[in-house]
Structure 1
Amino acid sequence: MFAALLDTWSRGMLRLARSYVSTSDSAEEVVQDTWLAVIRGIDGFEGRSSVKTWVYRILVNTAKKRGARESRTVPWSSAFERDGDPPLDGVGAADGRAPLPPAWKDLPAAWSVPEGEILASEVRGRIGAALAELPARQRSVITLRDLEGCSSEEVCAILDISPANQRVLLHRARTAVRKRLEDYFEAMRR
């Protein structure tokens, strides 16, 4: 039973943990620490939520602690400039631009098979980059809802947020990702 849960949930847990910590290695450690906490605390599980919600709540708490600890340290690599690019601001009204449209301007064109694989890989990379730029709470909500397939109620329980807040965070996250992809597809058409 435990091995099945481990196989089924670990990839999703890793994606969610990655939204709180700075490296993939840290995310893997968070997932390991979560499973250890689950094993130690299984006798304390009261059944007031699903097992998945309980495990993911432990994951979020563990990842938040680790992320906070990491944010108090400055990595050596940050002492050096990278490409001289300024940091990216948020998307939408916060950076002074007009609010984003509620849907795609134009649907992306279908790709031919040979170049489709390469372009699909590039788009996956763009989606990953867009997700990485989101604020942590938006990234967590979109990861749980769209990548993990959690219900709205599960997301609210895991992240301890209200349904209204969950909807707002999900909308903002989807809009930001869609905007980044629209910019990419528009540049490809030129």
Structure 2
Amino acid sequence: MHAMQYEITLPADYDMEIIRRRVATKGHLLDDFPGLGLKAYLMRERADGSPVDQYAPFYLWNTPEGMNSFLWGPGFRGIVNDFGRPVVQHWTGLAYEEGPEATAAATTATRRKSPVPEDIPPGHAVSEALMEHGAESWRDGVVASALAIDPRHWELLSFTLWAEGAKIPAEAGERFQVLHLSAPERDLPAD
């Protein structure tokens, strides 16, 4: 599994309805994309307390071929043509769990990035993170949750999808609205 996200930070006066319309008209295009576990079309707004207006899709790829096909093909080319070429953050997947609300629609996503301290062996940090992730993925309201790591920057990433009405703890991380979820291979094991 590979996790991937790019963030397009928009001007404070940007009409976020443009992003909503974009997702409403184009979101379905990845609903059957080969190699894609899931794509959460995420957005956050200053009007909701976010520090920025941002479009920030998040992907879990089951295969590197699927990810490459997207990045080097027309899917990502559309983003580049409309917004310029964003930095694509990526992480190596460590764990993915369906939560107690796995069949519910996800309306909110959280993302938490945590540095792996230099004085802690990476294997120990990953083992601890996996234990925490296992427990966190079973919280009430969780649709699905992933854990990944960026060994270049030694950063752990926790990403969780939440059902409507879920009581999301503050420590879950940054919040995003889920505008659409494409999940063609969500139930398939990753390479």
TM-score by length of 2: 0.25
Task: Flag the structure with higher helix content.
Answer: 1
> Highest CA radius of gyration, 1 or 2?
1
Task: Flag the structure with higher strand content.
Answer: 2
TM-score by length of 1: 0.25
